[in-house]
Chains A and B, each alone.
Chain A
């Protein structure tokens, strides 16, 4: 799964730590999601989309391998 988390974070001028605190996870989790090592749950994806005020499928999109 691909994501635009890093770009969206840069637009909002948020650090990984800021975003992690806003959605109640660790900074490592945000880093792992950004690098595509970890696929977040629906709840976490919805929380992220709420922070960036964008629909989930604009931030996360399926890869050809998915």
Chain B
């Protein structure tokens, strides 16, 4: 099959899947939009952690480090594990934890964008050309910053008592 046709088909599938994804999150009424964030059950955190540990430790046991920045498959597993942890609920999920979640997402998203532009600019200065920052590295950074920001804020609140 022609590569361009395949790319177009993949793009159409991507758009359709986005539509299906938004249907999943469709609220029955407008009020419900502001009520609660849809999150995975709490025990998914454990699954996420197992995924990360397996994706980091198993290749190491077999003398092949997957997470070295060049093997994207390993990074995909790590990112998947991080996403599962990010979207799992806490023991008590209330409006304050929802606010902390949203602020952490905002912080990590902004940090990701700034980091992307800075690293692209640095690459251009150093190697005199543009090399694309891989999407999995960027996603991993954003998810990592989100997790750090969320849990640091929560522990700050706990320690301020």
Contacts and interface: CB of A to CB of B under 8 A. Distances in A.
Interface residues of B, number: 12
Contacts of A20: 92
A24 B94 contact: yes
Contacts of B161: 28, 31
A44 interface: yes
B81 to A, nearest CB: 26
Interface in A17-32: 20, 24-26, 28-29, 31-32
B94 A32 contact: no
A40 B95 contact: yes
A35 interface: yes
Interface string B55-66: 000000000000
Q: Is the interface of A mostly helix, strand, loop or mixed?
A: loop
A41 to B, nearest CB: 6
Contacts of B94: 24-26, 29
A29 B160 contact: no
A32 B157 contact: yes
Contact of B97 (A26, A31, A37): A26
Nearest to B93: A26
B123 to A, nearest CB: 41
Contacts of B97: 26, 29
Nearest to A35: B160
B31 to A, nearest CB: 11
Interface string B80-99: 00000000000110111101
Interface of B: 91-92, 94-97, 99, 154, 157-158, 160-161
Interface of A: 20, 24-26, 28-29, 31-32, 35, 37-38, 40-41, 44
Given A20-B92, A26-B94, 8 more contacts: A25-B92, A26-B97, A28-B96, A28-B161, A29-B96, A32-B157, A37-B160, A44-B95
7 contacts: A26-B91, A28-B157, A29-B94, A29-B96, A31-B157, A35-B160, A41-B95
